[in-house]
Structure 1
Amino acid sequence: MRLFVILICFLLTEPVLGKKPSKRKDYLVTIQTDFGVMRLILYDQTPKHKANFIKLTQEKFYNGLLFHRIIQNFMIQGGDPNSRTAQAEQMLGSGDVGYTIPAEFVPELFHKKGALAAARDNNPEKASSGCQFYVVQGRVWDDENFQKQTERITQLKGRQPTDAQKQVYQSLGGTPHLDGNYTVFGEVIDGLAVVDSVAKQPANPLNRPLKDLRMTVSGEWMKKKKITKQFGYTYRK
């Protein structure tokens, strides 16, 4: 079964989870592409997803994999290990690492532009893929269309976006209908334009880019004060 952002692989066991070395430091992720560099932080509120992504990054798991599914004004998806040696026109999205991660839904973590989230299949627990992820591009919502999204979310989830989230969706943009369905576990803090560049590349009818878009993912522990100074990201207290 092919896996999408609305889908993704159902895996079997839980990963070995690591711990950060200091409360004063955080793990800065760097994703290099042909269109530039994205830098991301991973949320402490989603510890299982954070530890797993750090583990895979340190193992160099993502290096050479593709962004194998792109949809402009929606998201860019990667992390399928089958994409490393994929042939042209090969269907991708079903690769996995043999385990899932339990969903970690946190209401204040939402699908704004630049959000890093875990893809999954249609398993009833909404457990995340152990490896596949997507970065939100989304769109900016006007009052009328955002109200329609809000009504849809309220009907399905019994909750509404906060006023602060609404402001972000109507200024920066995002994909509000995914909230509460997929675990958001990080965000791009530098290089949002790279998301736009990747998302607009030509793709086939199955949304695989016509040209391979490979990634190199690395990370380093850095003082939070330095991250704030260099990239303007403010940590919650």
Structure 2
Amino acid sequence: MRICILLIALLIAAPVLAKKPSKRKDYLVTINTDFGIMRLILYDQTPKHKENFIKLTKEKFYDGLLFHRIIQNFMIQGGDPESRTAKADQMLGNGDVGYTIPAEFVPELFHKKGALAAARNNNPEKASSGCQFYVVQGRVWNDEDFQKQTERIAQMKGRQPTEAQEQVYKTLGGTPHLDGNYTVFGEVIDGLAVVDSIAKQPANPLNRPNKDLRMTVSGEWMKKKKITKQFGYTYQK
């Protein structure tokens, strides 16, 4: 009898373990802005960043925060918790959540237009901010400019984009000099025009938009087949 009671007590006290999402599903992120909706996926190759972004999204951490730094033909940045109640003349970009995430550099993940990447300070490990992120707008590169850019990259980092990446930079666009410096952990699969609309807004000399550009961020687990059908994103097997 004692054993039975003990077992029952343990079962009652035991926490209910959350089921792991099916491999057939992925987490679809939705960022709502005044200029429309962006939908993003988070890469499995960067598990620490993916897990952290999902955690913050579920906690509604990003709701009401600003895109506090925008540079046309470069990127839009947000996620500073101090931006939620920031005054109009307040400098932003230093807010955090009290931890960083180890860099997860994956050569196949690069700064094409629409790439989601983690902001960071100048720490030598290149660890990512626990909350601040940016979405790449970049530019489309012609042959001459891209060659000059990659020559500089090779001198500084001893690396070159692949031929496939080069084609993307010359057609879709992006910011190749950021590769290997900041962790890319996702991408916009719907709503690239929203990135363009935000990036071209008037801003002050510190690149803070003159008008507050707030976001709300939500997410849901969705079948990969449905994501592919609805948004045209193809998963690598």
TM-score in same-fold range (> 0.5): yes
Equivalent positions of 1:1-20 (< 5 A) are none
Structure 2 equivalent of residue 47 of structure 1:
47
Query: Aligned partners of 1:21, 1:234: CA distance in 2, in Å?
Result: 19
**2: distance between equivalents of 1:27 and 1:153?**
33
Summarize the Cα distance change of 1:19–1:187 in structure 2 as closer, same or farther, 3 Å threshold. Answer: farther
Superposition map of 1:1-237 within 5 A: 21-237=21-237
Q: Secondary structure at the match of 1:29?
A: strand
Amino acid at match of 1:169: Y
Shift of 1:176: 0.3
Larger-Rg structure = 2
Deviation at 1:149, TM superposition (A): 1.1
Query: What is the distance in 2 between the residues matched to 1:152 and 1:49?
Result: 29
User: How many angstroms apart in 1 are the aligned matches of 2:93 and 2:201?
Assistant: 18
Q: Is the contact between residue 111 and residue 184 of structure 1 (CA under 8 Å) also seen in structure 2?
A: yes
**In structure 2, how many angstroms separate the alpha carbons of the residues matched to 1:19 and 1:80?**
31
Could you tell me whether the CA contact under 8 Å between 1:20 and 1:26 is conserved in 2? no
Tell whether the 8 Å contact from 1:42 to 1:50 is kept in structure 2 after alignment. yes
For the residues of structure 1 that align with 2:19 and 2:156, how far apart are their CA atoms? Answer: 35
Give distance in 2, aligned partners of 1:124 and 1:19: 37
Q: Distance in 2 between matches of 1:119 and 1:155?
A: 24
* Inter-partner Cα distance in structure 2 for 1:194 and 1:164: 25
- Residue 185 of structure 1 aligns to a residue whose secondary structure is strand
Distance across 2 between alignment mates of 1:26 and 1:66 = 26
Measure the CA separation in 1 of the matches of 2:180 and 2:90.
Answer: 31
TM-score normalised by the chain length of structure 2: 0.92
What displacement does 1:20 show? Answer: 5.0
Distance 2:22 2:86 in 1: 39
1:83-142 superposed Cα distances (whole Å, 9 cap, x missing partner): 000000100000000000000000010000000000000000000000000000000000
Counterpart-to-counterpart distance in 1, 2:236 and 2:19: 19
CA, structure 1 residues 73+20, in 2 after alignment: closer, same or farther (shift >3 Å)? farther
One-letter code of the match for 2:205? P
Comparing 62-71 and 146-155, the one that deviates more: 146-155
Residues 58 and 181 of structure 1: is their aligned pair in 2 closer, same or farther, counting only changes over 3 Å?
same
* SS of aligned partner of 1:219: strand
Distance 1:20 1:178, change over 3 A: farther
Q: Secondary structure at the match of 1:170?
A: helix
Distance 1:70 1:198 in 2: 7
Q: Which runs of 5+ in 2 are unaligned?
A: 1-17
Q: What is the CA RMSD across the aligned residues, in angstroms?
A: 1.0
TM-score relative to the length of structure 1:
0.92
